[in-house]
Amino acid sequence: MNYSSENSEFEALLQYIKQSRGFDFTGYKRSSLMRRVSKRMQTVGIEKYDDYLDYLEVHPDEFNSLFNTLLINVTSFFRDRPTWDYIGSTIIPRILADKKSGDPIRIWSAACASGQEAYTIAIVIAQLIGIEQFRERVKIYATDVDEEALSQARQAIYPKRDLEGLSPEEIELFFEPVGNFYGFRKELRRSVIFGRHDLTQDAPISRVDLLICRNALMYFNADTQARIITRFHFALRDHAFLCLGKAEMLLTYANTFAPVELKRRIFTKVPRLNSRDQLLPMKTGNSSTSSEPDNSYHIQNVAFDRGPLASLVVNAEGLLTLVNEQARVLFNLTTRDIGRPLQDLEVSYRPLELRSCINQVYSERRPFSFRDVEWLAAQGEKVFLDVRIEPLLDQETYILGVSITFTDVSRYKRLQGELEHSNQELETAYEELQCANEELETTNEELQSSNEELETTNEELQATNEELETMNEELQATNEELYTVNDELHRRGDELNQANAFLESILSSLKGGVVVVDRDLHIQIWNYRSEDLWGLRTGEALGQNFLNLDIGLPVEQLRQSMRACLTADTTSATEITLDAINRRGRQIKCQVSCAPLLGITSEVQGVILLMEDRSEGEL
């Protein structure tokens, strides 16, 4: 099967899993996913993906085993302890500092597996603010797609070996003995809420102060990672914190997250300006739709007086009617000048002959503008003004007067001079810049090429790092499985040793000698009483054919009885008394009972011989 057909079969398998069970693995990295599925296929003895899809259709129970293989739940209390120390010493205090006393604290532990990470953050916060404050203010939302892992997390009961990352003081303060296990304290457990949540499909939890998602993003491809990170950005409050695994980075998401402690993979949300938020400052409270005329008139006067441009108003009789603050400062006018004829004031002819201009405005009934009018200000500084004279018309028929506005363009005039000077310098430098530009373009192309190579290398290194971390967690999961199997083997070994000791005790307590042979009449058991009767040690007897033994018992006379036991359909025993000589050389009467040895299926596996000394001396 070629590579492309293998990929198509694998994609068909993922689609079947999604349609039949609702688990969408299409966003996961293919290399890791194919490796985990292949591991499960080897367990059930299947080589092709199509065959495994057929197997799932026939054996729906296989889905549970497959999901347990695909969803790698590697976690522990205080995993990567320096990161948790930094969260406790820096991140949580910063969250508390931004809140008022009594404000709720919301934490999201995404991909929480069997719950150790969620309970770890609970321990960290409870140690900082106290158990009572923790119960009143803190809510920890712990989510995962694995229902089996969530069920274990809800129970909050762990074996002692899972508490290795905790100090004895933390165990005593936050855990209670439950038989041979330890349970998380119930009053703190109520603040941790577990629920099923698919990072690729389900809506995110909102208004979160700290989001912890460690070593989960590395299993997804780039497109899926981008969607998840967008959801994380929505879930967090402004300037809230995101904690990732040690193999995960956000190098391409600088506009959404900024690093706080890159070594610990802790980032903060970069707020995005929202058009609705930008409009909020413009919102005002309710006000009356009408206002008093005097107040409105006062507002108009203040607005005119505080205007940014120097302005004068002259009525049709040539009297100065209005002067704002900028004009009073610029032309050394006072409020006493209001009402005087304009021709009596210096401003009527300096910096510009206004009287003739006003007459022209009256005659043509249109505004006139004059640019770059030079004026020597009171401080002796030369300024340049743009002057605009506009007629004030009543219903566009009757001239009430004129409005004269002076705009200070000195800064622009200076900039224009500087610009002309700069243009001369630019013309001089243009040829040099042109030459340098060509060199820079060449260098830029080389740098661009190098940059693309570096970005490609960085992405490859990041992908390799994530793949190595994935394999590391798979190995850790396998190691935990082997640890469980090893415990089971130890337990079975102990049970076997106890059974052997119990059987040995029974055989030693029997008055007569006991011999057990298999169907080929080879000795399997030779107890201590048999050694005492015939002087043959157990090590010498085991494995020998019983009928070949050279002892004081005429074993050949037992051949018929033993054969009968091997072929009998009943479990009844036969007895025979033989003349024999024991290990001391004394003549004895030996009573031998032969009974079939039955296996688990009631099939005859051998013969059990019970030998007792029935001579008068023994009775």
Query: Are the CB atoms for 213 and 244 separated by under 8 Å?
Result: yes
Q: How far apart are CA 226 and CA 250, in angstroms?
A: 10
Q: What is the pLDDT of residues 480-521, one digit of tens each?
A: 889 888 988 988 888 888 887 787 777 766 778 899 999 899
| Beta-sheet strand order (sheet of 157-159) | 157-159, 181-184, 175-178
Two tokens at 547? 């009928």
Mean pLDDT of the residues in the chain: 83
- In the CATH scheme, what is the code of domain 3-70? 1.10.155.10
In sequence order, which residues have a C-beta less than 8 Å from that of residue 251 and are 6 or more positions away?
Answer: 458, 462
Q: Would the CATH topology of 81-272 be identical to that of 297-412? A: no
Task: Confirm whether pTM is higher than 0.75.
Answer: no
Measured between its terminal Cα atoms, the distance across the chain in Å is: 81
Q: How far apart are CA 182 and CA 313, in angstroms?
A: 88
Q: What is the pLDDT of residues 176-203, one digit of tens each?
A: 999 889 999 998 999 999 999 989 888 8
Which CATH number does the domain 297-412 belong to among 3.30.70.890, 3.30.420.40, 2.30.31.10, 3.30.450.20?
3.30.450.20
Longest dimension (CA), the chain: 165
**Residue of 533, 514, 534 lying closest to 524 (CA atoms):** 514
Q: How far apart are CA 120 and CA 134, in angstroms?
A: 13
Band of residue 4 on the pLDDT scale cut at 50, 70, 90 = low
Q: What is the pLDDT of residues 117-165, one digit of tens each?
A: 999 999 999 999 999 999 999 999 999 988 888 999 999 999 988 888 8
Look up residue 319 and give its DSSP letter: B
Q: Which CATH class is domain 81-272?
A: alpha beta
**Residue of 205, 185, 186, 187 lying closest to 195 (CA atoms):** 205
Q: Would the pLDDT of 171 be above 50?
A: yes
Q: What pLDDT is recorded for position 129?
A: 92
- Alpha carbon distances (Å) from 324 to 286, 310, 330, 332: 32, 6, 10, 12
Q: What pLDDT is recorded for position 95?
A: 93
Instruction: Tell me whether strands 266-269 and 513-518 are parallel, antiparallel or unpaired.
Output: unpaired
Radius of gyration for the chain, computed over Cα atoms and rounded to the nearest angstrom:
48
Going from N- to C-terminal start, the domains of the chain cover: 3-70, 81-272, 297-412, 511-613
Q: What is the pLDDT of residues 441-477, one digit of tens each?
A: 888 888 888 888 888 888 888 888 888 888 888 888 8
DSSP characters over 38-54: HHHHHHHT---HHHHHH
Name the 3-class secondary structure at 2.
coil
In CATH terms, is domain 511-613 a member of 3.30.450.20? yes
